[in-house]
Amino acid sequence: KQEVTQIPAALSVPEGENLVLNCSFTDSAIYNLQWFRQDPGKGLTSLLLIQSSQREQTSGRLNASLDKSSGRSTLYIAASQPGDSATYLCAAGGHTGGFKTIFGAGTRLFVKA
């Protein structure tokens, strides 16, 4: 059974700081790993998708890496801004046990101006 854990649960940083959000998963038989952003009371916005055959993806100030063998993914945010304040969720798309996507509980990020 796939379990996804995100650490830390919450993070507060000053504007301009570089930061790393962590995601770990127990079953390495995934077909992709996706990072999302969620603002309070809103739906999810896709940030980056890493296919199982890939090691990383980049979009602007965001970089996500995937290490299937160790069951880990990281989301790196460069030069953080107050507008980055949101909850960041990772989701593992599975193979074994069906094709359901399993989400972590998220990391709540607050960037102080």
Count interface residues toward other proteins (CB under 8 A). Answer: 25
Question: Per CB under 8 A, which region of 14-22, 67-75, 77-85, 89-97 contacts other proteins?
Answer: 89-97
Minimum Å gap between C-beta 2 and other proteins is 10
Decide whether 48 or 111 has the Cβ nearer to other proteins. Answer: 48
- Taking the complex as a whole, how short is the minimal distance between the CB of residue 88 and other proteins, in angstroms? 10
The one-letter amino acid at 64? A
Peptide bond into 8 cis (omega under 30): yes
- Residue 78, phi then psi, degrees to nearest 5: -95, 145
Per the structure block, which two tokens stand in for 107? 């990391």
Q: What mask, x for binding other proteins by CB under 8 A, covers residues 6 to 45?
A: -------------------------xx-x-x----xxxxx
Phi (first) and psi of residue 83, to 5 degrees: -70, -10
Hey, CA dihedral for 94, 44, 73, 50, is it positive or negative?
positive
* Distance of closest approach, residue 56 Cβ to other proteins, in angstroms: 15
What is d(CA 28, CA 17) in angstroms, rounded to the nearest whole number? Answer: 31
**Interface positions with other proteins (CB under 8 A):** 4, 31-32, 34, 36, 41-46, 49, 51, 89, 91, 93, 98-106
